[in-house]
Amino acid sequence: MSMRREGIWFRRVLALLALTAAFAMAAPAASNAVATVKAPVCTCTITVTPTSGGRGASVTVKGAGFTAAGFVRIRFVDSKGTIWRVAKPKNVKVASDGTFSVRVRVPKPATKGVGRFVAVEPTSTQRAVAKFLVT
């Protein structure tokens, strides 16, 4: 799958998750409801070191609070909203304590400005975001 097609797919998944969460929070609970759908609570976080750098810069992304022994996908979203897959392999293994650490590079074609690294669990709705300034 090309990076562009994967970026489109990733944006659609994030939009669907946001729409699902918004609907779940806005829908009034019926008095005869059998079940209530609630928006998931994300306990996961990521940090990036350093927090700024040029295109092609090496960055360490560390995460915590993810599903133990699962995996995450790391993406970079530049200031124009272009989504880039940055981790190789594309699935980063999460340790049994829910943490991970991976070294990635800021995409060379990324636009300058405030971007963000995003870690997403493909098997759940958990995601975490950390800002990064592309200089």
The chain-wide mean pLDDT, for the chain, equals: 81
pLDDT tens for each residue of 33-77 = 444 444 455 689 999 999 999 999 999 999 999 999 999 999 999
Q: Give the residue with greater pLDDT, 28 vs 119.
A: 119
Specify the pLDDT at position 115: 97
First to last CA, the chain: 29
Radius of gyration of the chain (CA): 16
Specify the pLDDT at position 93: 95
Specify the pLDDT at position 6: 58
13 band by pLDDT with thresholds 50, 70 and 90:
low
What average pLDDT does range 112-134 have in this prediction?
A: 94
Please provide the DSSP assignment of 46-104 as one string.
Answer: EEEESSEE-TT-EEEEEEESSPTT-EEEEEEE-TT--EEE--SSSSEEPPTTS-EEEEE
Query: pTM, whole model, 2 decimals?
Result: 0.70
Instruction: List the domains of the chain with CATH numbers.
Output: 41-134 (2.60.40.1930)
How many Å apart are CA 132 and CA 135, to the nearest integer? 9
123 band by pLDDT with thresholds 50, 70 and 90:
confident
114 band by pLDDT with thresholds 50, 70 and 90:
very high
